[in-house]
Structure 1
Amino acid sequence: MKSFIIAWKDFKIRVKDRKGFVTMIVMPLILTAILGAALSDVMGGDGGFSDTTVGLYQADQDPISEAFRREVLLELEFVKVKMVKNDTELEELLRDGKIDVGLSIPEGWSSDLNNGGLKEILIYSQADKQIKATVIQSIVESFSERVKTISLSTTAVINDLTKSTVVTTGSVNLKEVVDVIVADLNQAGQIQFGIEEESIGKKMVSSMQYYAAAMAVMFLLFNATMGAKSIIQERSTETLARLMMSPTSNGSILIGKFLGTLLFAFVQLIIFFCATSLFYDVNWGGNILQVLAIGIAYSVAVSGLSMILASLVSEEKTTDVISGVGIQIFAILGGSMLPIYVFPDALQTFANITPNKWALTSFLTIMSGTSWDKLFLPMSVLLLIGLLSLTIGTWRLKAR
Structure 2
Amino acid sequence: MKMWHIIWFELRMLIRMRVVLLNQFLLPMVLILILGNALSGMISLGDDAPIDTVTAMIVESPGQEALTSVGWNEFLKTPEISELLKVQHGDHREEAISSLKSGDSDFAVVIPTDFADKVMKGESVKWEMIYGKDHSKNHVAEMIFESYLDEVNRVQASTMVLGPNTLNSAPQNVPTSYVEMASLNKEGNAYSAFQYYAASMLIMFLLYSGLTASSSLQSEKRNKTLYRLNSTPISTLKIFLGKIGGNSLVACIQAVVIILGTTWLYGVNWGRHPIYLILLCALVIMAAMLMAVVITLLSKSSESAQTIFQVIIVGMTFLSGGFQRIPVDIIEKLGEFTINHWALQGMIRIILDASTGEILHHVLILGLFNVILLLVGTVSYRKVGYHE
TM class, shorter-length: 0.7 to 0.9
Q: CA deviation at 1:217?
A: 1.1
Report the CA distance shift for 1:252/1:185 in structure 2 as closer, same or farther (over 3 A): closer
The answer to whether structure 1 residue 329 and structure 2 residue 300 are counterparts is no
CA distance in 2, matches of 1:281, 1:114: 56
Find the residue that maps to 2:53 and give its secondary structure.
strand
1:220 to 185, 203, 206: 206
What's 1:125 paired with?
Answer: 132
Report the CA distance shift for 1:313/1:119 in structure 2 as closer, same or farther (over 3 A): closer
Q: Residues 227-269 of structure 1: CA distance to partner in whole angstroms, max 9, x if unpaired?
A: 1122112102211111111223323211111111211222222
Q: Which amino acid aligns with 1:127?
A: D
CA distance in 2, matches of 1:78, 1:116: 24
1:194 to 151, 162, 179: 179
1:217-256 equivalences in 2 (<5 Å)? 217-256=203-242
Q: CA deviation at 1:127?
A: 2.9
CA distance in 1, matches of 2:356, 2:143: 34
CA distance in 1, matches of 2:129, 2:331: 27
CA distance in 1, matches of 2:42, 2:142: 12
Report the CA distance shift for 1:104/1:246 in structure 2 as closer, same or farther (over 3 A): closer
Q: CA deviation at 1:285?
A: 1.0
The answer to whether structure 1 residue 263 and structure 2 residue 267 are counterparts is no
1:1-400 equivalences in 2 (<5 Å)? 2-36=2-36, 40-46=40-46, 50-55=50-55, 68=72, 71-72=75-76, 74-76=78-80, 79-81=83-85, 101=106, 113=116, 125-129=132-136, 130-139=138-147, 141-142=149-150, 183-188=168-173, 192-195=177-180, 197=182, 199=184, 202=187, 203-339=189-325, 343=329, 347=333, 351=337, 354-370=338-354, 374-375=359-360, 377-378=364-365, 380-381=367-368, 384=371, 387-388=374-375, 391-392=378-379, 394-395=381-382, 396-398=384-386
Report the CA distance shift for 1:113/1:199 in structure 2 as closer, same or farther (over 3 A): closer
Q: CA deviation at 1:47?
A: 7.8
CA distance in 1, matches of 2:364, 2:207: 20
Which blocks of at least 5 consecutive residues in structure 1 are unaligned? 158-179
CA distance in 2, matches of 1:119, 1:213: 39
Q: Which amino acid aligns with 2:2?
A: K
Find the residue that maps to 1:218 and give its secondary structure.
helix
Q: Percent identity?
A: 22
Deviates more, 1:279-288 or 1:15-24: 15-24
Report the CA distance shift for 1:231/1:334 in structure 2 as closer, same or farther (over 3 A): same
Q: Residues 349-395 of structure 1: CA distance to partner in whole angstroms, max 9, x if unpaired?
A: 861xx433332232222222256665362464365356546644554
TM-score normalised by L of structure 2: 0.72
Paired residues of 2:326 and 2:332 also in contact (CA < 8 A)? no
Q: Residues 69-126 of structure 1: CA distance to partner in whole angstroms, max 9, x if unpaired?
A: 65445422794455779999x969x959xx9x456899xx999856879998986633
Q: Which amino acid aligns with 1:221?
A: L
What's 1:164 paired with?
Answer: none
Which blocks of at least 5 consecutive residues in structure 2 are unaligned? none
Q: Residues 203-227 of structure 1: CA distance to partner in whole angstroms, max 9, x if unpaired?
A: 4434432332122112221222221
Q: Which amino acid aligns with 1:75?
A: P
Find the residue that maps to 1:296 and give its secondary structure.
helix
Q: CA deviation at 1:303?
A: 1.5
CA distance in 2, matches of 1:347, 1:104: 25
Paired residues of 1:285 and 1:368 also in contact (CA < 8 A)? yes
CA distance in 2, matches of 1:201, 1:181: 34
CA distance in 2, matches of 1:124, 1:334: 22
Q: Kindly report the root-mean-square deviation, in angstroms, between the aligned alpha carbons of the 2 structures.
A: 4.6
TM-score normalised by L of structure 1: 0.70
CA distance in 2, matches of 1:143, 1:220: 45
Q: CA deviation at 1:17?
A: 3.0
Aligned length: 366
Mark the structure with the bigger radius of gyration. Answer: 1
